[in-house]
Amino acid sequence: MIDASARIDPRARLAEGVDVGPGCLIGADVEIDGDTRIAPYVIIHGSTRIGRRNQIHPFCVIGGDPQDKKYQGEGSTRLEIGDDNTIREHCTINRGTVQGGGVTRIGDHNWVMANVHIAHDCQVGSHTVFANNTALAGHVAIEDHVILGGFTGVHQFCRVGAYSFAAIASVIVKDVPPYLMVAGNTAETRGLNREGLKRHGFSAETLQLLRQAYKILYRQHLPLSEAVEQLKALNGGSAEVRRLVDFVSRSTRGIVR
């Protein structure tokens, strides 16, 4: 169903089964796959592709220009949103910049609550939760199964590792390794995200191994390079520890520590 009051550019491509509510504006370079619901008074513009079965709630602005002074109106930048995402009221999601790779990307099955901002060139995985008023600066990378508490801010170019959790009003200015819980302004570690890991089915053996890894990284006061070497020795074929080692080794901003 497409409401008669919606203004949709004839060049936009809407698949069968897309619902568009009253007062929506949808631009020429927008593509929306089937069974996605666009609630009233949503603006979607720029080069934007939205997948299947998404729910976009009122007063969102999707695909807007990057809030970056380097942006000079380049038409080649875009926004890509996957399938089965819920985007609640008043969210803003910007397209990428040429300097940042050209694309802002959001995966599948994400729960984006009201008033969230996702800036240019962000790379968001799948199965994440961004609580109300979370804000991601440009070039932020969020891996799968991350939860960010309300009013959390993430500094530009930071990475947040898989299965990590940030408490309400955290301010993240360095990379957050996978599996951790952080809190505060500025964010500091509060241990493993144990409850979250249990809910995702991590075995007792894996949790024990990650506890050992956490002690090496945070409790033994080792230089980071030495801690990484000890983590490699601990690995024992564990994909989870390997992910932790890879994440820390690739950090350019430094990790929350």
Round to whole Å and give the CA distance between 13 and 11. 6
34 is catalytic: no
Nearest alpha-carbon partner for 75 in 119, 40, 27, 37:
27
Query: What angle do the packed helices 204-214 and 224-234 form, to 10 degrees?
Result: 160
List, in sequence order, the alpha helices (H) in the chain. Answer: 194-199, 204-214, 224-234, 239-249
User: Distance between the two ends of the chain, CA-based, in angstroms?
Assistant: 51
For residue 18 the two structure tokens come to: 């897309």
Task: Give the span between the Cα atoms of 234 and 115, in whole angstroms.
Answer: 42
CB pairs under 8 A, 24+ apart, for 33-39? 33/83
Question: Is 120 annotated as catalytic?
Answer: yes
* CA triple 177-179-185, angle to 5 deg: 60
- The pair of structure tokens assigned to 110 is 């994400």
Examine the residue annotation and report whether 196 is marked as an active-site residue of this protein. no
Candidate list 45, 57, 117, 120, residue with the active-site label: 120
Pairing state between β 188-192 and 180-183:
antiparallel
Q: Which one from 51, 107, 138, 150 is the annotated catalytic residue?
A: 138
Selecting among 33, 68, 108, 121, the annotated active-site residue is 121
- Which sequence positions are flagged as catalytic? 120-121, 138
